[in-house]
Each structure stands twice: as structure tokens, then as C-alpha cells.
Structure 1
């Protein structure tokens, strides 16, 4: 057992570190992520972002929390956090079509239509029949007709 793990185990046993919480209790973490998605549905993106961050998705690797955090971050203009979440998602098995679609939308929000177009093309490659991807492609054509 490594030194860091032994130290962490010792702190846990000594009562210095809580045994459960949003990041360690699966039921609590799932409820937190669900609440974040509810807030996204209500268009309360700032609160959704805070809620999803409390699930510690960068530490846990929770794909659903990472995707929600990316979306909420995009919608609040925090593209740095969105990019970090998308980068993590690219490293994990996830729905590639929707990941690339969401990345395309992120770049549309930034006005980077060339990147948005490239990500939409990749999204279409993964799911050519997806209506959401088609709608975002149509929106991109309207906002960047010369691209």
C-alpha cells in the first residue's frame, strides 16, 4: 500500500476525513447530478454549474456530471471549464455524437464557426440521423452562411 493511501486511510479511520459525501456516496452523487440536470432544464445555468461542480466530476470522472457541467459552463460563458470537461469526456467512453454536437454548440456560442462546423461534421459522422445535430447544423448555416 502506498504512503499516500496509508495516510488517507489513517485519516479516515481517525475521523479526520468524512467517509461519505457528494463525491463518495453514489446515491448522493447521483441525486446531485440529477438536480444539476433539472436546473439546466429550468435554464438556471449558474446554479446548475455550482451543483454539478459539487459532485466533483473532475475527480470522480462521472461522465454525466462532466457533460452537464460542460453545458452549464457554456451557457454561463465559462468556456475554460467547459473545455476542461469536454477534454475529460474525450478521454472516456461516451456518446461521441452528442459530445461533438455539444462541443460544436460551444464554439457557436463563442463565434468560432469554423471549429463549430468541424465538430458538427464529426458529430454527423457518428450519428447522421440525429435531429439535434441536424438542427444545430441548420442554426450554424443561419448564423454563418459564408462559412
Structure 2
């Protein structure tokens, strides 16, 4: 194959035997595919959907991403977990569990600015719950902000006395 300039001034890929394909032909095919997909979506936009279909069966479109986020987080794949938790939040903005996972991922990735945003959104959705406050305390521990971490962890302990995770985080803070 050889590349030459065709009559239109565009690159032409030549094959032995005289066959030529132009970039214009490729672009026309791509444009046709894109236009046909637009028409399909316009046709489907007025369609009625069967509530028993596989897409609607769970009732929560964000559940699959939430489950994948949890799995990736447990395996220490915080970047992949973040992707799934973020997608779950995009699909359902009031998903407190996905917001908690997203904030925890940002903590593990050292993106505390994004963690703070996720915690802020989580507090608006779920209120100031002890487990959320615990995670916020751990976040500040990771940043090296021990006084802020202690204040939040003690608040969580007061609201949920004897909780193992809160006690473990306080012990971790005491050892540091």
C-alpha cells in the first residue's frame, strides 16, 4: 500500500491492482453510522418500556456499580472502586452508600479535596450519622490533622458508644 494525494487534495490509500480508498469514504461511513444511531435513539425515545425487562428488574440502576465499587475497594483497587462509586452516584445522586464509598476512595487516593466534597454531599443526603462522622475523622487522620480527627472520632463515639470501628480508629490515632 502507498499513500498519495488524490484529486480532491486529500490523502488516498492505494492498493496494488488499482483499488483506492479515500479518507472521504471512511469519513462518509463514519458519518452514516453516527447519523443512523441518532435516528435510532429518536425512534426509541418515544417507545414504552416493559417494567419487567432486565434493565428495570433491580429497581436501582446504580446497584451494579455500587456492588462493583465495594468489591474493588475490598481488593484495594481504589481507582477502580472510585470509578464505580462515582458512576453509581451519577445514576442516583441520593445513594448514600455510594457517596460514602466514593469519599472513602478519595481518602485512600489522597484526594482529600474531592473527599470533602463527597462527605459534604453525603451529609446533605443522609444527615450527620456516627459512621459518616467516623469516616470523616479517619479522613482527617490520614491528612495528619490529629486534633480534627480526634474531635470527629469522639463525636462519633458519643453517638455510637462501643462501636468497634470507631474504637479502632481512636486507638490508631492514639498510637500515632
Regarding TM over 0.5, the answer is yes
Higher strand share: 2
Offset of residue 93 of structure 1: 2.8
Structure 1 unaligned regions, length at least 5: 1-11, 17-24
Residue matched to 2:166: 133
Pick one of 59, 81, 97 that aligns with 1:64.
97
Count of residue pairs the alignment pairs up: 127
- 8 A contact 1:69–1:82 mirrored in 2: yes
Cα-to-partner distance string for 1:3-25 (whole Å, 9 max, x where unaligned): xxxxxxxxx97767xxxxxxxx8
Match of 2:13 in 1: none
SS at the partner of 1:55? helix
- 1:58–1:85 contact (8 Å) kept in structure 2: no
Whether the 8 Å contact between 1:57 and 1:65 is mirrored in structure 2 is no
Match of 1:113?
146
Distance (Å, rounded) in 2 between the aligned partners of 1:58 and 1:123: 29
* Counterpart residue number, 1:103: 136
Deviating beyond 4 angstroms after TM superposition, the runs of 4 or more aligned structure 1 residues are: 12-16
How does the TM-score come out when normalised to structure 1?
0.76
User: Which range is displaced more, 46-55 or 108-117?
Assistant: 46-55
Q: 1:14 to 1:113 in 2, by over 3 A?
A: farther
Alpha-carbon shift at residue 55 of structure 1 (Å): 1.9
CA contact (8 A) 1:57 1:63 kept: no
Q: Name the counterpart of 1:33.
A: 66
Structure 2 CA distance for partners of 1:26 and 1:74, relative to 1, 3 Å: farther
| Structure 2 residue runs without a partner (length 5+) | 1-40, 46-57
Which structure 2 residues correspond to residues 89-100 of structure 1 after superposition, within 5 A?
89-93=122-126, 96-100=129-133
2: CA distance between counterparts of 1:115 and 1:58? 33
CA RMSD, Structure 1 to Structure 2 (Å): 2.6
More helix by share: 1
Q: Offset of 1:117 from its aligned partner?
A: 0.4
